[in-house]
Amino acid sequence: MKELSLGGLLQRVLQLVVSLFILLCVTFVIGRVMPTDPVGAIVGELADPAAYEAMRARLGLDLPLYQQFFIFLRGLLQGDFGTAILTGNPVARDLSQAFPATLELATLAVIISTLVGVPLGLAAALFRDSFIDKFARIFALVGHSIPVFWFGIVGLVIFYAWLSWVGGPGRVDVYYEGLIEPTTGLLLIDSLIEGEPDIFWNALSHIILPASILAYMAMAYITRMTRSFTLEQLSQDYVIAARAKGVSPTRTVIGHVLPNIAVQLITVLAISYGNLLEGAVITEIVFSWPGIGQYMTNALMIGDMNVILASTIIIGFVFMLLNFLADMAYLLLDPRTREVAR
């Protein structure tokens, strides 16, 4: 069993590596065929032709495509994503500052969406066709139908401008910026590490609205899938037997159904987390959140391909890693998948 499980693990690691390499190839080719001019963005439209060609040669854009790819791949292996046009900093340094902000936002969003979406889906299935079920279905439909930027703008107008219940755009108020040493890059955690409760509560007031709006998008999907998984299990023989023995519906769902749908829920949560990471772009723009989404959008405006390629690769890798971890959780929680892995 151990050897076979190790073989299954190695197979999945190999799939992850191959998928990542394909992502690198596709991303690089798309970046090179896009109608953007990174050289013009650096030297300017009115630059001397000689200066233009010199910069083009310096960036390696005069080389054949396969040579450019190998140079690009060698840089990645060394942790070198190139230099950002907008900031003049190494892209890796900018990403090390921007990605934790997106990670913090998406992580809080997936926590909120899980704590609300899973119980709501369970209750909707348990009390099928009741008011709770109808509410859950409408709740999910609205979450899938209304654009996130509309929710963001309306949320800012109501909860920030009118009611002053939450902080405004950005991660903290201006007078708190730069006061916390970025140990983890996650401002809520770093403020607690440094013993700054005022900054913690200020940061929480800024993140709670964008995280809740992001969470609503994921909540709709999680609620719908949890309801579907639960309804399928409620018709199984073991549930009927438990009910015949006098086990209450609530105990049946929590004690018997929930463990059986845990494996499926892990996949749903992993997909939701990945979607939140890549789908935070619009939310970050609306809330001026200094994350990878806003950083990537600013790069798109000026055709900075180094930033675009690096951001795409980072997000794609995280998405693949989450799916890989979900597969590993399958092997741990469901013995049947271990048999398949043999």
| CB atoms near residue 325 (< 10 Å) | 13
Name the CATH code of domain 93-164+210-341 (choices 1.10.10.410, 3.40.50.300, 3.40.190.10, 1.10.3720.10): 1.10.3720.10
Q: Which pair of structure tokens corresponds to residue 118?
A: 């899973």
What's residue 340's pLDDT?
Answer: 47
Element (H, E) at 97: helix 91-126
Categorize the per-residue pLDDT at 4 as very low, low, confident or very high, splitting at 50, 70 and 90: very low
What's residue 209's pLDDT?
Answer: 93
Q: Which pair of structure tokens corresponds to residue 327?
A: 């597969």
What's residue 198's pLDDT?
Answer: 92
What's residue 41's pLDDT?
Answer: 66
236 alpha carbon, distance to own chain's centre: 34
In whole angstroms, how far apart are CA 243 and each of 227, 250, 266, 269?
19, 10, 27, 29
**Whole-angstrom Cα distance, residue 322 to residue 27?**
20
Domain ranges in the chain?
Answer: 2-62, 93-164+210-341
Q: Is the pLDDT of residue 205 over 90?
A: yes
Residues 50-76: pLDDT tens digits? 877 787 787 777 778 788 888 888 888
- The percentage of the chain sitting over the pLDDT mark of 90, rounded to a whole number, equals 14
Q: Is the pLDDT of residue 259 over 60?
A: yes
Q: Is the pLDDT of residue 196 over 80?
A: yes
**Whole-angstrom Cα distance, residue 26 to residue 314?**
14
In whole angstroms, how far apart are CA 213 and each of 143, 150, 216?
9, 10, 5
What's residue 35's pLDDT?
Answer: 67
Q: Who has greater pLDDT, 173 or 82?
A: 173
What's residue 3's pLDDT?
Answer: 42
Q: Is the pLDDT of residue 1 over 50?
A: no
What's residue 201's pLDDT?
Answer: 94
Q: Is the pLDDT of residue 81 over 90?
A: no
**Whole-angstrom Cα distance, residue 48 to residue 298?**
26
Among 35-44, 241-250, 258-267, name the one with the lowest average pLDDT. Answer: 35-44
DSSP character for 90?
B
**Whole-angstrom Cα distance, residue 284 to residue 206?**
12
Quick one: how many helices (H) and strands (E) in the chain? 15, 0
What's residue 2's pLDDT?
Answer: 44
What's residue 71's pLDDT?
Answer: 81
- The percentage of the chain sitting over the pLDDT mark of 70, rounded to a whole number, equals 90
